[in-house]
Copies of this chain bind each other. A is one copy, B any other.
Amino acid sequence: MSILFEKLALVGVGLIGSSIAQGVRNKGLAGHVSVATRRAETLEEARKLNLADSYSQDAREAVADADLVILCTPVGAFEAVMKDIAPVLKPGAILTDAGSVKGHVVKTLGPLIPAGVHFVPGHPMAGTEHSGPGAGFPELFEGRWCILTPEAGTNKKAVERLSEFWGALGSDVELMDATHHDMVVAITSHVPHLVAYNIVGTADDMETVSKSEVIKFSAGGFRDFTRIAASDPVMWRDVFLTNREAVLEMLGRFLEDLSVLQRAVRTGDGDALEELFTRTRAIRRSIIDAGQETDAPDFGRSHAEASREGTGKS
């Protein structure tokens, strides 16, 4: 593919930053990739992975002369980073981010953007439960959505160029209002994470059932929650601190529905239970049909692995 930006700067090289760097270099989408991260050991890890053309602990140094700057740190660090780099951003540069929350980012960063810099907030909806530069891989964004939430007055050309960039990394791009975005992710991502963190915490706290029993017998459903509840703690702390309103609204609905379900269990209303369980199964089917999941059953390992394991277990 052809070069879309002469110089790309990534501030933060965790799972997302590392995956962007790898995808961009694999496909030759930038003439130069610079990465910045505060911690020396993370930068060293990035260097060992050969993620970039230049490395720096100083974000200012990394973003100087960059045509595209992507903030890939946890959302809570955005404001400080922005105050630091604003004076050195190149006029005409596009600034975007990979944060999971958009309303807060628009409100916080908006006033700090220098004139002549095009700010297009973004959210690549892709990830795994692993974090750090070593967790990244170039295909992370393929077939996944990237939502951009430009404000009404944003330079159209900048939005187009950024859309083309994410498209080249394999993503489908959708434009959306920042407030609506925050509601969509509250129900599809933030509340599911909160609930998963909560149930894993509850299980960790039992007296009647020991922790070792919870771990031993986790294959019946609990295990799947622990995958989600293993996501990066700082990133998720920042998500809940910055998308509070939407999360609390969706959590309220979830709790209302759970009260109804709790009553159905208490009163032994089998018809209501079966009706819900049948309806939710159909939604799963839609997600597979939409290409957002494979139909392969997940039971903690692949069939092939199971065969290799044979009966030789401990």
Contact = CB atoms under 8 A, between A and B. Distances in A.
Interface of A: 76, 100, 125-130, 135, 137, 139-140, 142-145, 147, 168, 170, 172, 174, 180, 183-185, 187-206, 208-209, 211, 213-231, 233-234, 236-238, 240-241, 244, 247-248, 250-251, 253-255, 257-258, 261-262, 264-266, 268, 270, 273-274, 276-281, 283-287, 290-294, 297-301, 303, 305-307, 309-311, 313-314
Contact of A284 (B127, B229, B293, B303): B229
Which applies to chain A's interface (DSSP): helix, strand, loop or mixed?
Answer: helix
A302 to B, nearest CB: 8
Contacts of A250: 202
B224 A313 contact: no
A126 to B, nearest CB: 6
A280 B206 contact: no
Q: Which of A100, A172, A291 has the most CB of B within 10 A?
A: A291
A281 B125 CA distance: 21
B226 A309 contact: no
A298 to B, nearest CB: 6
Nearest to A250: B202
Contact of A241 (B125, B183, B270): B270
Q: Which of A197, A202, A227, A262 has the most CB of B within 10 A?
A: A202
